[in-house]
Amino acid sequence: MSRLAKFDVVSIEDLETSDIERVFALADGFAAQLEHGDQITTAAGLIMATLFYEPSTRTRLSFESSMHRLGGSVISSADMHASSAAKGESLADTVRVVAGYADLIVLRHPHDGAARVAADYAPCPVLNAGDGSREHPSQTLCDLYILRKKKGHLKGLTVALCGDLKHGRTVHSLIYALARFGANIVAVPTSGMNVPDYVLERLATERNYSLSTVTMDELKSLAGGLDALYLTPSAPHQMALFTGDGALRPIPAAEPPAALDAFYVTRLQKERMSGKEAGAGEYVRFDARALRTSRTQEAVVMHPLPRLGELAYELDADPRAVYFEQAAAGVPVRMALIALLMEKAAGASTGPRPIAEAIRFKTEPLPRCSNPNCVTRFEGAYLAPRFTLGRGIDTTVLALKCGFCERELKTEYVGHARTHRYYRFDENQQGYVRQWIEEGSLAVFESRKQAEEAGYEPYRRGPQREIMNQEEVVGAIESLADQVIADVHDMPAVSIVGVVSHGAMLALRLRDLIGAKTGVLAPCAALDAYKPADALHPIDGAENFSVEDRIIILVDDVINSGWTVQRAMATIWQRGRPAAVKLAVLIDRGHRAVPIRPNYVGKNIPTSSGERVQVRLAAAGAESKSHDRVMIYSIVEPLKEPEAAH
């Protein structure tokens, strides 16, 4: 039986800001005591178990050293191949057994979400020492501790994260923490190694934060002394501010930062890459020149280590190279983390954050996480799927967020387990889905075939009604063009971005109309908020589409919850800093889940949540507009149709 209260640190977000501050204060104290050679007995009588399913030097040895320095003891399985894991013992069983021998468990594991599993099964506290490519919270404590020590504070610092930002778990935990402390994050990913979507999503939804990305070339020109990098943003992107009075506006443009405060460099995480990723392009490499420009001379160079080729050894002698200090901070900081757990045991602070309640699926087939490295794909049937409703809801896909690895599973077909009916999801049916989740009767299917094989029949759709005819659609688009012209005086500064697919068609028609009326043909781009790799591409002849300093007219056919628009906004802000973003929609359905109000509306059509609006548009340049119309229909309300039940 552990002598510590059950308090797990699976994510850096499990620690309150006050916890992190407390860790820093305790670490300062321990560092001073270590310096004086004091005998410390804080953790006398406590036993820590380190279970490492992956190689480690710093993390395991500094955790173990910390516990010894605190006067406690350590038992260790540093090579799990020598443990019963090699015989196929599950993680759940292993941690339950080990919890009988120790007061806390420190776990490193190759699978995303493994620390969550361990925390759920172990009766003692579990500290995540790295789970797959997901998180590494104790490394972040070391990173923040050193960064703050060097700079005196964290708020307002501009930190460039460089390298493999996709698989680097230290980076993911650090991003959440930097956002929380109000630092500006500039991501400089190696090609194809961007910060993953689920991390950006979490930043946006939980912290209202969007980081900016610059290319390796821009970084090189900075590091090579050309001093040409324009860093955005100079303040964290606060999405909530876009929408203060219902209009979409960026926060006022501020001066670009005079300097970078830190480079955080990471190695390529080869062991986490799939075959097709292996040929990644040029990788960042820092040498002494990187710190010679006016913008970088105050910067510290950080690295969680181990380094490969990305930091030249010549940097080591420079006082701004702080990576060995980060590694050394591992001892006082991890001592502080253990001491914090002991304070939790003494009731000094509140418990961990509650975990959102998972959706109960009663029907087979149960959904399966789509992340090939999710712990649920390896641990076997004892791990029931755990999903909550994702926030990245596409208009045509229901996103379920895995409670272990946080990746979103996108499902197209949803069913109602009592009536055995299914339909192809679209966001207008969110109301039903939420209701079914509450009843425990939601079923999800990968395909129509899977639904039919499970004995489900398609919902019958209600009668279709035309709510806008050709003339009305043409009139509404005209009206949008007029609204834009009346509102925006600097037409040459306008660029138009259409959300695929109908928004992009509408964008071109709007551009042509505005062009005919004003003589200015705006550059156009299509934005697919759900395909980040190709999120914003020029359409119809526009080249080198840039959002920088432009007045962006964001165009979509229908706005309902506003999620797609919110996501589109985040994508735009990631590409640079526009002068303003204005939203134009053909139809406003008015069931907003996020505080966004369009600036230009073709027509307001209040509809009920079970109704589906279908927009048909003629292509820009088409002679005849006879294709233009808007239809509405409803799927049959399942609960009012008991005779349909099987």
Catalytically active residues, by annotation = 58-59, 87, 108, 136
Q: How far apart are CA 255 and CA 473, in angstroms?
A: 43
Query: Which residue, 168 or 498, is less far from ligand NCD as judged by CB?
Result: 168
Structure tokens at 581: 């973003």
Query: Which residue, 136 or 410, is less far from ligand NCD as judged by CB?
Result: 136
Q: How far apart are CA 63 and CA 106, in angstroms?
A: 8
Q: How far apart are CA 459 and CA 220, in angstroms?
A: 56
SS3 85: helix
Q: How far is the CB of 574 from ligand NCD (least distance, A)?
A: 25
Contacts of 24 (CB under 8 A, 6+ apart): 144, 145, 148, 336
Closest CA to 7 of 19, 18, 22, 17: 19
Structure tokens at 454: 């499970």
Cβ atoms of residues 525 and 578 within 8 Å: no
Cβ atoms of residues 137 and 173 within 8 Å: yes
- Report how far Cα 533 is from the mean position of its chain's Cα atoms: 14
Greatest Cα-to-Cα distance within the chain, rounded to the nearest angstrom: 87
Query: Which residue, 4 or 268, is less far from ligand NCD as judged by CB?
Result: 268
Q: How far apart are CA 81 and CA 68, in angstroms?
A: 25
List of long-range contacts for 82-91, beta carbons under 8 Å, 24+ apart: 83/51, 85/53, 90/379, 90/380, 90/382, 91/117, 91/118, 91/121, 91/375, 91/379
Query: Which residue, 136 or 416, is less far from ligand NCD as judged by CB?
Result: 136
Q: How far apart are CA 167 and CA 150, in angstroms?
A: 27
Q: How far is the CB of 624 from ligand NCD (least distance, A)?
A: 59
Query: Which residue, 266 or 634, is less far from ligand NCD as judged by CB?
Result: 266
Query: Which residue, 130 or 250, is less far from ligand NCD as judged by CB?
Result: 130
SS3 26: helix
Q: What phi and psi values does residue 367 have, to the nearest 5 degrees?
A: -65, 150
Q: How far apart are CA 464 and CA 346, in angstroms?
A: 64
Query: Which residue, 2 or 139, is less far from ligand NCD as judged by CB?
Result: 139
Q: How far is the CB of 216 from ligand NCD (least distance, A)?
A: 19
Ranked by CB distance to ligand NCD, the top (closest) residue is 304
Structure tokens at 433: 């889905």
Q: What phi and psi values does residue 77 have, to the nearest 5 degrees?
A: -120, 90
Q: How far is the CB of 58 from ligand NCD (least distance, A)?
A: 5
Closest CA to 569 of 255, 252, 247: 247
Cβ atoms of residues 367 and 402 within 8 Å: no
Q: How far is the CB of 289 from ligand NCD (least distance, A)?
A: 24
Q: How far is the CB of 242 from ligand NCD (least distance, A)?
A: 34
Contacts of 292 (CB under 8 A, 6+ apart): 225
Query: Which residue, 169 or 577, is less far from ligand NCD as judged by CB?
Result: 169
Beta strands 580-588 and 600-604, pairing class:
parallel
β-pair partners for 604: 588
Q: How far apart are CA 560 and CA 166, in angstroms?
A: 32
Query: Which residue, 164 or 528, is less far from ligand NCD as judged by CB?
Result: 164
Residues that bind ligand NCD (CB under 6 A): 58-59, 130, 136, 139, 169-170, 266-267, 304-306
Give the CB-side neighbour count of residue 643, counting CA atoms within 13 A.
1
